[in-house]
Chain A
Amino acid sequence: MERIYLDHAATSPVHPKAGEAMLAVLTETYGNPSSIHSFGRDSRRIVDEARTIIAKTINAGFNDVIFTGSGTEADNMAIFGAARSKKSGHIITSAVEHHAVLHACEALQKDGFDVTYLPVNEEGLVSVSDVQEALRNDTILVSIMYGNNETGAIQPINDIGRLLADHPALFHVDAVQAYGILPIDVKELNVDFLAVSGHKINGPKGIGVLFVKPGTPFAPILYGGEQERKRRAGTENTAAIAGVAAAAEIAENTREERAARYTEMKQLFMDTLAQNGASFSSNGKVEQSLPHVLNLFFPGTDVEAFLVNLDMAGIAASSGSACTAGSIEPSHVLTAMFGADSEKLRSSIRFSFGLNNTKEQIEQAALKTAEIAKRLL
């Protein structure tokens, strides 16, 4: 049985070229980038080159890109960094953020910060006027994700950025799912922080990127050596840095082609389901979602049984984000969209496409999914 991996929003395989870049560093350029000798200088060059590549993909300056230990750390750094540099104040975020943002905000509430969690509509979208209404004089940070990890919903980041141009609040965008598949220009978006994760873009796990606009007030999480211009202590993970840069460069060069391919796959998946008599609807507007994420409601089915059946059929999909998937708790994203009593919370599956998926795999997976959906009714 061929196994079909449709869970690329949880994590993705390392691109062979990214793997090669990592291996070269691991075996040949193993010096500590902070060392002043030639081994150190060679490693420093690797880090500098990677930083240049990443900066270019989002139109940022070289010094504005910080390498972190993960997407979670990048999100936490932006939120804690902004908050701790201000000591107190009000934060605006949305109810559908990744837990790396939500739980960071909850931690800040315990420290006395006031947090507004904006609702979303049935399509999973935050409204710009809600952001505007929530803004206060003491609002220090607005944190809204670019593309949702569970439904793929693309938030009106551009409009929010424009709105905030006239307000002192800092603007953080969690772009972990959007980076590499949507074009991102930090200057156009008017963001102060933007978080990226390596392993969602066919790079390695254990590496993330945080963009920080020059001059933005900031407090680090990790203290120690003076790496990353004192913003993130710890010996640089040079191999992973080379790996994420290689993955980012490939992602950027193939972005439009992949976005078109995944969009087609999405349509093909839904068409095949329909042709085979499955009853379903999409959670969120397909036209306003990330090309690689598809979240479907199968009325009358049970998500747990559904996933087990998919798994037995060799198809890896998910009920929501992997980080909450450990136990199937109702998705906070779908709850925000449809309310806690909605049947959709118990009967929805996320399929997310990626690098190695083929049209044949999508057709086959949809066929099997349709069979399971019918069987479980």
Chain B
Amino acid sequence: MNAHTARPARSIRTVLLAGTIMALLGVLGTAAWLSFEGSAEEAQELFDARLATSARVLEAFLARQVERSTLSSPIVITLPGQIESAGHDEPGPLGHYYETKIAFQVWDSDGNLLVRSASAPAQKFAPLAAGFSEQRFEQQPWRVFSLRSGQVWIQVAERDDVRSELSEKLAFAAVVPLIAGTVVLLVLLALLIGYGLAPLAKLAQQIEARQPGAETPIRLARTPAEIAPVLDALNGLLRRVRDALERERRFTADAAHELRTPLAALKVHAQNVARAATPAERQVSLERMLTGLDRTVRLTEQMLAYSRAAASSEPAQTKVPLRTLVAEAVEQLQSHIRERALRVDIASEPANELAEVSGDRQKLGSLVGNLLDNAVRYAPERSTIEVALRRTGDEVSLSVADEGRGIPPELRERVFESYYRMPGSAGSGSGLGLAIVKETAQTHGASVEISDARAGRGTRVVVRFRSELAPRTLY
């Protein structure tokens, strides 16, 4: 897709298939080995028993007769020529080629060879000791059984490859179905994994094809239980992103709209300056234009503050003393306070309480500044503005009260809307002050409440912070 695509981790399909193959190989390998070992051992036991039986048969028919005889040369018992030269392992009418791989010898106690089969050498197969043993001659491993019968030793031997051929075949017969089953299983598994993962591919397609502003949540025809939580979380995120986008869009549209009137005023005054017929007219229009500029600057600052307050980012976590913020706000408004002969009373409880809350200093400063600005703006001349900081338990509250005309109860929710101005409050307000207060309070986990300052008169705004609680974010 693009250069930023992360290098993918090993795919689920590969991991599952490789894991399954390795596990199967381990299990089957062990099974095959055990099967081989088991059948080889069983075959060994069977062959050993048969070897011993052969020795006893020889003993029964041969040993007694040769015991007392003296022979100038050993008797050699030959096999029919066809068998010796057959070279294949198909049984024939006379016997089997493998008979050449089976041999016997009969020795007397003095070490003279009495009888031997044609396939047996003239030397001893093994030292004359009773029981089974492994020997090598003619570059071949042999299994030898020695039996003493009176004065005679009977040795019967069988080439190992006869035996191992059987046990290999037995083991192979056991393993082949396992291997075939494994192959079938792997193919089935690959198909199943493909089917199981198909919803993921569908999901990826849907996300890829999605427009940023799309309204509908992502839906899959078949949502496996494992993907459902992912899908829910994804749709939740999409919804929040869309809401945030919508708020941004509305904010921009509102801002553009709200700027029209102050800009219209600026333009009218500027043109009036240009068209002025007398210096007096020019002076009047110029002063009005400057007032308009100040207001427009203030409006854009408030827009920025509101945009910041409403931003979903985690607020910075510093201890902010509200008392200091109040002092700063009063200082900022000093000229207006003096001009309108207002009195600002600041009370804290308990005394000297700094009323610290944790949060973003700039945003909290904007909250306090806007509360005081409103109070100063709407307070009648020569009245008193009361600011109270209070700590009770784990709550810190800031209360600002003025003696203005108050906010009627039915408008106490609406005044928090952005750009809402109360009827009759014509003029300089941006309509954003209380919206900034509300947004900032929300991101700091505080509540805002408007009431009468005194029964039926004035406005009191109280912001309550939970000092122990970490500020909450909107998201």
Q: Are A and B associated in one complex?
A: no
- Residues of chain B having any CB pair with chain A under 8 Å: none
- Residues of chain A having any CB pair with chain B under 8 Å: none
